[in-house]
Structure 1
Amino acid sequence: MSVIWYECKVKYTKRYETGEQKVTTDTYLLDAVSYTEAEARISEEMTAYTSEDFRIMNIKLANFSEVHPFENSDCWFKSKVSLVALDEESGKEKKTNMYLLVQANDVKEAFENTTKAMENTMGDYSIPAITESPILDVFPYFSEEEEKLEKANVIDKDENLNEEVLEETETS
């Protein structure tokens, strides 16, 4: 089943570390099955994120085929990937474009991460454009079972890390 991504623009009063407050409109991405679910989910996410009042200014379908988060990255980049196929009738190459949302710190890293995301692609492709996206955060859908599994993985990683630290301490 393919994922439907929605871009949501939310206007709210943002508090900065300096104590300054400013009304801002930020863009978030989430997957949902309908506009109604997208509205409910962004409302839920924003309620957890800010105690201030907020307004959902816009919800629209996003044209991302895939979303690829990478650790230790701050920004989201929109990568245009052109898949190249040979048209058997005419014998000419035909390009089909798709868009990936890739997390990175700069354009060079976004190119590298896009290449990593496309590693398992069998056909030829090119990356004609990468632009920084206004998206601040991505909220993928997790079912209750997936959330439990995700939390278990985090707990398991923490326990493994604690065991490694304990072993290192004991050998020192």
Structure 2
Amino acid sequence: MMMHNWFTCKIRYEKIAENGMTKKVTEPYLVDALSFTEAESRIIEEITPFISGEFTVAGVARANYSEIFPSDEADADRWYKCKLWFLTLDEKTGAEKRTATNILVQAADLRDAIRKLDEGMQDSMADYVIASVSETAIMDIYPYTVDPDVKPEFENTDRR
């Protein structure tokens, strides 16, 4: 399993509204990167083809998501932050221990988000409670993908 380091990158630019007027907007995107610097350069690379005119990266911050459940359904055009409590039993005291985690789910609406969350969690052996589900302003996410054309810097030097 690949570990992801998610960063929220805020892009500020002038958007043309439906009435033809331009207004400044700041839109958050989620980027998988190793560092703040890489997150900034990746979002610039990803967003440049889609924004005509100038834009600035208004901010880069760590995003605390343990998992992301994307969807390729056409109507699943929103991202929902789902806060879960994982419930475990403390062997010594017998007390219930709660551990919070955040999962991002792409869905059409709140009901769909909960359904997709439960589907995504069905292989989990842990007991969990959904603490909250809220719509985010995230426009899109950019997971890290390995480019198959890029060769490693060092080829396998093992010559037997």
Name the aligned partner's letter for residue 84 of structure 1: L
Q: CA deviation at 1:19?
A: 3.7
Paired position in structure 2 for 1:64 = 65
Aligned residue for 1:145, secondary structure, equals coil
1:109 aligned counterpart, secondary structure: helix
What letter is aligned with 1:25? T
Q: CA deviation at 1:120?
A: 0.4
Q: 1:71 to 1:95 in 2, by over 3 A?
A: same
The residue number in structure 1 matching 2:48 is 47
Q: 1:75 aligns with which of 64, 78, 86?
A: 78
Moved beyond 3 Å, runs of 4+: 16-20
Equivalent residue pairs, number:
147
* Higher RCO (C-alpha under 8 Å, 6+ residues apart): 2
Moved more, 65-74 or 53-62: 65-74
* Paired AA for residue 95 in structure 1: R
TM-align CA RMSD:
1.6
Q: How many angstroms does 1:15 deviate by?
A: 2.7
CA–CA separation in structure 1 for the residues paired with 2:42 and 2:126: 36
Which sections of structure 2, spanning at least 5 residues, go unmatched? 151-160
For 1:104, give the aligned amino acid.
A
Matched, 1:92 2:101: no
Instruction: Choose which of 90, 114, 118 in structure 1 pairs with 2:117.
Output: 114
TM-score under structure 2 length normalisation? 0.87
Structure 1 residue 49 displacement after superposition: 1.2
CA distance in 2, matches of 1:33, 1:127: 29
Match of 2:30 in 1: 29
Superposed displacement of residue 21, structure 1? 2.3
The amino acid of 1:78's aligned partner reads K
Match of 2:5 in 1: 4
Higher helix share: 1
Which residue identity is paired with 1:61? R
Identical-pair percentage:
39
Residue number in structure 1 paired with 2:132: 129
Q: Deviations over 1:106-132 (max 9, x none)?
A: 111111111011010012111110001
Change (3 A) 1:113 1:42: same
Structure 1 length-normalised TM: 0.81
Q: For residue 128 of structure 1, what is the amino acid of its counterpart? A: A
